[in-house]
């Protein structure tokens, strides 16, 4: 005679396996394929559903990024739950990305804390897409108005040297007290 509880357990086990297979095959069809795309390399093989999340679990974030940077270089890709992220390390690489290739990479992922704090797509650091481009343009123009990117000190030095040289030319090879002219020209 067949026990009803064991038949019930077998039925649920078969249903669980079936659901697991459906989820696996659906995910393998829906999950984005990165072959043929011009993206940086991945530091390790990705896992089913979670991608590269398994690399972050037991360690501190900085140690993980250092390990990935050592294996793949300064720029690498990560996959978290089917979402592609490109990590850029180093000042020079970040500078090149934000100055030369800024129009190619304006989209940033939205993180949980941005949803909690209601800071999605605002400011320069959290903005994404067209809003990021507008924020970047406005920020750069404001900073340039304040003198960023201009070497004002060099302009002042060149101007002072020009005044000093013209003052020396005005003496027409006459003997002068050079120290007095130099101290009045250089503050």
pLDDT of residue 35: 66
Confidence of residue 162 (pLDDT cuts 50, 70, 90): confident
Cβ-Cβ contacts under 8 Å for 32 (sequence gap 6 or more): 82, 84
Query: Which letter does DSSP use for residue 100 in this model?
Result: T
Q: What region does 58 belong to: left with phi over 0, alpha with psi -120 to 50, or beta? A: alpha
Between CA 50 and CA 55, with CA 54 as vertex, the angle to 5 degrees is 130
Report the DSSP beta bridge partners of residue 86.
Answer: 77
Quote the number of domains for the chain. Answer: 2
By residue range, what is the domain housing residue 170?
152-185
Whether residue 62 is contained in a domain is answered as no
Structure tokens at 104: 């190619």
User: Please, which pLDDT band fits residue 187 given cuts at 50, 70 and 90?
Assistant: low
Q: Please report the pLDDT score of residue 1 as a whole number.
A: 54
Are 162 and 133 in the same domain?
Answer: no
């Amino acid at each position: 005679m067949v026990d009803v509880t064991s038949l019930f357990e077998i039925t649920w086990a078969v249903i669980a396996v079936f659901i697991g297979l459906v989820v696996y095959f659906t995910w393998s069809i829906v999950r984005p394929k990165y072959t043929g795309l011009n993206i940086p390399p991945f530091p390790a093989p990705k896992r089913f559903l979670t991608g590269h999340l398994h690399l972050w679990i037991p360690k501190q974030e900085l140690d993980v990024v250092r390990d990935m940077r050592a294996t793949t270089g300064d720029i690498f890709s990560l996959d978290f739950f089917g979402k592609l992220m490109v990590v850029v390390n180093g000042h020079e690489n970040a500078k090149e990305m934000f100055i030369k290739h800024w129009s190619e990479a304006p989209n940033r992922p939205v993180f949980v804390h941005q949803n909690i704090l209601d800071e999605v797509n605002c400011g320069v650091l959290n903005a994404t897409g067209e809003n990021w481009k507008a924020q970047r343009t406005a920020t750069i123009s404001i900073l340039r108005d304040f003198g960023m990117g201009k070497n004002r000190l060099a302009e002042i030095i060149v101007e002072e040297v020009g005044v000093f040289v013209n003052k020396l030319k005005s003496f027409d090879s006459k003997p002068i007290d050079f120290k007095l002219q130099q101290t009045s020209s250089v503050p």
